[in-house]
Amino acid sequence: MTATRIDGKAFAARLRERVGAYAAGFEKSVGRKAGLAVVLVGEDAASQVYVGAKGKATLAANMASFEHRLPSDTTSEALMALVEQLNNDDSVDGILVQLPLPDHLDEQSIIAAISPDKDVDGFHVINAGRLSVGQTGFVPCTPLGCMMLLTDRLGDLSGLEAVVIGRSNIVGKPMAQLLLDANATVTIAHSRTNDLASVVRRADIVVAAVGRPQMIGKDWLKDGATVIDVGINRLPPEPGKEKGKLVGDVAFDEASEVAGAITPVPGGVGPMTIAVLLRNTLVAAHRNAGLEAPADL
């Protein structure tokens, strides 16, 4: 048996194409572009790459991109003032403060200052609460992207047993809630779960978000399971090479011998994150304009 490869890159491209078409329609009907503001504090190299990619993707999707790059010694008061300015700017529909922030800034306080209705990252406690009680809000981009891939692959998830490995506020917890809302039976497992392998082995759906390279092998998986690998880890470089190979939390080749379907790393979950960010921004724009967002976003 060889697992079907779940092509997140292709799915994300189709989603971005829909977002771009709907964004053009939004601009015609409202008279302005949907707008995403991204705030970067400091010189973190990876964050600079992410912010640049998000800006390019926003422009490519027919939306306005507002980048605010601040020095690493920016005070909490100055950052809070910028967030408040963006909250009150009608041309800005979504606000994203790139994490991690420098150590002297409190991430939770900054996220809490963002208007929940512009919190397109879905990190605000109000949006977390809305998700937990089934109200409309914004869901973090990575788990929502995982959910899109799962429903595209499996359709109705009712009654399926799902195991989410990892309990972070950004992926694990919202992922579990989304699966519950889809009527799956959900277990959240983590580093202190007793006999973790046997817990994972009973799952029809495995979402791996634990941050340990290739931890999950074929002996952890039920035959035919659908595996969503959120992990992205870089192995030590081989002799003569500058960078090590990027791998997920799942040993892809051997897991593919058992799984029914699996996301690769890279090219699986990763491309979905920016695509869903654009989707969330366009949904926010429709809500802010008093319009119904398209059903297939």
State pLDDT tens for residues 126-183.
999 999 999 999 999 999 999 999 999 999 999 999 999 999 999 999 999 999 999 9
Query: What does the pLDDT read at residue 242?
Result: 85
The answer to whether 85 is a known catalytic residue is no
CB-CB contact of 13 with 23 (8 Å): no
| pLDDT cut 70: percent of the chain above it | 100
**pLDDT of the residue at 60:** 98
Do residues 35 and 150 both lie within one domain?
no
DSSP 8-state code for residue 295: T
Domain CATH for 96:
3.40.50.10860
Query: C-alpha distances in angstroms, 148 versus 104, 124, 131, 144, 179?
Result: 36, 22, 16, 6, 11
Q: Answer yes or no: do 150 and 257 share one domain.
A: yes
Residues 236 and 153 occupy one common structural domain:
yes
Would 17 be classed as within a structural domain?
Answer: no
| Whether 121 is catalytic | yes
Mean pLDDT over 76-83 rounds to 98
Mark whether 48 is an active-site residue.
Answer: no
pLDDT at 297 (0 to 100): 93
Does 180 share its domain with 73? no
Answer yes or no: is 106 within a domain: yes
Are 224 and 152 contained in the same domain?
yes
In total, how many domains does the chain have?
Answer: 2
| 69 assigned to some structural domain | yes
CATH code, domain carrying 258: 3.40.50.720
Question: Domain range spanning residue 231?
Answer: 141-271
224-253 pLDDT tens trace: 999 999 999 999 988 888 888 999 999 999
CA distance 247 to 236: 11
Which entry of 54, 118, 173, 222 is annotated as an active-site residue?
A: 54
Residue 96's pLDDT band (cuts 50, 70, 90): very high
pLDDT band at 1 (very low <50, low <70, confident <90, very high): low
Contact by Cβ (8 Å): 245, 235: yes
Same domain for 195 and 257, yes or no, is: yes
Q: Are residues 251 and 196 in the same domain?
A: yes
- The answer as to whether 221 is a domain residue is yes
pLDDT in tens, 258-296: 999 999 999 999 999 999 999 999 999 999 999 999 999
Residue 5, domain member (yes or no): no
Q: Under a CB-based contact definition with an 8 Å cutoff, are residues 123 and 152 in contact?
A: no
* List 98, 117, 119, 177, catalytic entry: 98
One of 121, 204, 229, 249 is an active-site residue; which one?
A: 121
Residue 285 counted as domain residue: no
pLDDT value, residue 241 = 87
263 and 148, same domain (yes or no): yes
- Considering 81, 115, 149, which residue would you say is the last residue of a domain? 115
| Pair 87, 177 in one domain | no
Residue 20: pLDDT band by 50, 70, 90 thresholds?
A: very high
**Do residue 160 and residue 199 come from a single domain?**
yes
In a domain, 206, yes or no: yes
Specify if 2 maps to a domain.
no
Which value, to the nearest 10 degrees, does the dihedral of the CA atoms of residues 147, 21, 46, 52 take? -170
Residues 59 and 162 in one domain: no
Q: Place 21 in a pLDDT band, splitting at 50, 70 and 90.
A: very high
Average pLDDT of the chain is 96
Give 29-44 pLDDT, tens digit per residue.
999 999 999 999 999 8
